[in-house]
Amino acid sequence: MSNYFTRPDEPPAYSPRYPESTSGSTPGRSIHDHPEFQSLRNGYRRFAAVSTALSVGGFLLYVLLSNFAPGIMNQPLAGRLTLGLALGLGQFAVMGVTAWCYVRRMRTQFDPVARGLRAQAEQRRPGTQSTYGTPSAREYRAW
Protein backbone atom coordinates (compact mmCIF):
# COMPACT_ATOMS: atom_id res chain seq x y z
CA MET A 1 0.00 0.00 0.00
CA SER A 2 1.21 3.52 -0.73
CA ASN A 3 2.80 5.67 1.94
CA TYR A 4 0.46 8.47 0.86
CA PHE A 5 -2.80 6.64 1.51
CA THR A 6 -5.21 8.47 3.79
CA ARG A 7 -8.83 8.09 4.63
CA PRO A 8 -11.32 10.28 2.77
CA ASP A 9 -12.00 12.46 5.83
CA GLU A 10 -8.28 13.07 6.53
CA PRO A 11 -5.99 15.58 4.82
CA PRO A 12 -3.46 14.08 2.38
CA ALA A 13 -0.37 12.58 4.02
CA TYR A 14 1.98 14.32 1.61
CA SER A 15 0.77 17.86 2.32
CA PRO A 16 3.21 20.13 4.19
CA ARG A 17 2.70 20.65 7.90
CA TYR A 18 3.44 24.36 7.64
CA PRO A 19 1.33 27.06 6.04
CA GLU A 20 2.47 28.26 2.62
CA SER A 21 2.49 31.91 3.62
CA THR A 22 4.57 32.58 6.72
CA SER A 23 5.32 35.64 8.82
CA GLY A 24 8.60 36.21 6.95
CA SER A 25 6.92 36.54 3.57
CA THR A 26 4.18 38.62 2.08
CA PRO A 27 0.83 37.41 3.42
CA GLY A 28 -1.06 35.32 0.89
CA ARG A 29 1.94 34.94 -1.42
CA SER A 30 3.07 31.44 -2.26
CA ILE A 31 6.00 30.13 -4.26
CA HIS A 32 3.61 29.68 -7.19
CA ASP A 33 3.22 33.46 -7.43
CA HIS A 34 6.97 34.06 -7.68
CA PRO A 35 8.02 35.32 -11.15
CA GLU A 36 11.04 32.98 -11.27
CA PHE A 37 8.78 30.02 -10.55
CA GLN A 38 6.41 31.10 -13.30
CA SER A 39 9.24 31.39 -15.83
CA LEU A 40 10.67 28.05 -14.66
CA ARG A 41 7.31 26.34 -15.06
CA ASN A 42 6.63 27.91 -18.47
CA GLY A 43 10.11 27.03 -19.73
CA TYR A 44 9.73 23.45 -18.54
CA ARG A 45 6.33 23.10 -20.18
CA ARG A 46 7.63 24.53 -23.44
CA PHE A 47 10.65 22.21 -23.44
CA ALA A 48 8.54 19.17 -22.51
CA ALA A 49 5.98 19.90 -25.22
CA VAL A 50 8.59 20.33 -27.94
CA SER A 51 10.65 17.28 -26.96
CA THR A 52 7.54 15.12 -26.59
CA ALA A 53 6.18 16.27 -29.96
CA LEU A 54 9.48 15.52 -31.70
CA SER A 55 9.89 12.09 -30.10
CA VAL A 56 6.31 10.96 -30.56
CA GLY A 57 6.30 12.47 -34.05
CA GLY A 58 9.34 10.38 -34.97
CA PHE A 59 7.72 7.21 -33.66
CA LEU A 60 4.45 8.02 -35.41
CA LEU A 61 6.25 8.74 -38.69
CA TYR A 62 7.98 5.36 -38.47
CA VAL A 63 4.70 3.53 -37.86
CA LEU A 64 2.94 5.39 -40.68
CA LEU A 65 5.78 4.72 -43.11
CA SER A 66 5.79 1.05 -42.12
CA ASN A 67 2.08 0.78 -42.74
CA PHE A 68 1.53 2.98 -45.79
CA ALA A 69 4.91 2.96 -47.59
CA PRO A 70 6.27 -0.59 -47.43
CA GLY A 71 8.12 -0.10 -50.72
CA ILE A 72 10.21 2.68 -49.21
CA MET A 73 10.80 0.81 -45.97
CA ASN A 74 11.97 -2.32 -47.87
CA GLN A 75 14.70 -0.48 -49.74
CA PRO A 76 17.98 -2.35 -49.12
CA LEU A 77 20.82 -0.32 -47.61
CA ALA A 78 23.61 -2.87 -47.09
CA GLY A 79 23.20 -6.62 -47.31
CA ARG A 80 19.99 -7.53 -45.47
CA LEU A 81 19.73 -4.14 -43.73
CA THR A 82 16.71 -2.27 -45.04
CA LEU A 83 15.68 1.32 -44.55
CA GLY A 84 12.81 0.21 -42.29
CA LEU A 85 15.11 -1.79 -40.04
CA ALA A 86 17.59 1.09 -39.85
CA LEU A 87 14.80 3.54 -38.96
CA GLY A 88 13.44 1.09 -36.37
CA LEU A 89 16.84 0.80 -34.72
CA GLY A 90 17.15 4.57 -34.99
CA GLN A 91 14.18 4.88 -32.65
CA PHE A 92 16.46 3.73 -29.83
CA ALA A 93 18.83 6.55 -30.72
CA VAL A 94 15.93 9.03 -30.73
CA MET A 95 14.88 7.84 -27.28
CA GLY A 96 18.44 8.08 -25.95
CA VAL A 97 19.04 11.56 -27.39
CA THR A 98 15.73 12.78 -25.98
CA ALA A 99 16.60 11.48 -22.50
CA TRP A 100 20.11 12.96 -22.71
CA CYS A 101 18.75 16.38 -23.78
CA TYR A 102 16.22 16.28 -20.95
CA VAL A 103 18.82 15.49 -18.30
CA ARG A 104 21.25 18.09 -19.63
CA ARG A 105 18.58 20.81 -19.79
CA MET A 106 17.34 20.03 -16.28
CA ARG A 107 20.85 20.13 -14.78
CA THR A 108 21.96 23.30 -16.52
CA GLN A 109 18.86 25.48 -16.72
CA PHE A 110 16.09 24.32 -14.43
CA ASP A 111 17.74 22.75 -11.38
CA PRO A 112 19.81 25.82 -10.37
CA VAL A 113 16.74 28.05 -10.45
CA ALA A 114 14.68 25.46 -8.55
CA ARG A 115 17.41 25.17 -5.89
CA GLY A 116 17.45 28.94 -5.47
CA LEU A 117 13.68 29.06 -5.10
CA ARG A 118 13.79 26.21 -2.61
CA ALA A 119 16.45 27.99 -0.56
CA GLN A 120 14.36 31.18 -0.54
CA ALA A 121 11.25 29.26 0.53
CA GLU A 122 13.12 27.44 3.31
CA GLN A 123 14.56 30.70 4.62
CA ARG A 124 11.03 32.09 4.97
CA ARG A 125 9.73 29.11 6.98
CA PRO A 126 10.05 29.62 10.72
CA GLY A 127 11.56 26.80 12.75
CA THR A 128 12.88 24.72 9.85
CA GLN A 129 16.41 24.06 8.83
CA SER A 130 17.56 23.81 5.27
CA THR A 131 17.70 20.18 4.22
CA TYR A 132 19.24 20.97 0.87
CA GLY A 133 22.78 19.71 0.55
CA THR A 134 22.39 17.03 3.20
CA PRO A 135 22.38 13.50 1.81
CA SER A 136 19.20 11.54 2.14
CA ALA A 137 18.17 8.02 1.26
CA ARG A 138 15.94 9.29 -1.57
CA GLU A 139 18.50 11.56 -3.22
CA TYR A 140 19.39 10.86 -6.84
CA ARG A 141 23.05 10.82 -7.68
CA ALA A 142 24.79 11.87 -10.89
CA TRP A 143 25.65 9.15 -13.38
| Residue 63 or 126, more confident | 63
Of 65, 97, 68, nearest to 84 by C-alpha is 65
The pLDDT confidence band at residue 90, using thresholds 50, 70 and 90, is: very high
Whether pTM exceeds 0.75: no
Q: Is the pLDDT of residue 20 over 50?
A: no
Q: What is the pLDDT of residue 53?
A: 93
> Which has the minimum average pLDDT: 76-85, 99-108, 113-122, 125-134?
125-134
Q: pLDDT tens for residues 21-78?
A: 444 445 446 777 888 888 889 999 999 999 999 999 999 999 999 999 999 999 999 9
Task: Name the average pLDDT for the chain.
Answer: 78
Mean pLDDT across the stretch 104-129? 82
Q: How far apart are CA 67 and CA 47, in angstroms?
A: 30
Task: Report which listed range, 4-13, 25-34, 99-108, 133-142, is most confident.
Answer: 99-108
Q: How far apart are CA 103 and CA 48, in angstroms?
A: 12
Burial of 58 (0-12, 13-18, 19+ CB in 10 A): middle
Q: What is the pLDDT of residue 121?
A: 81
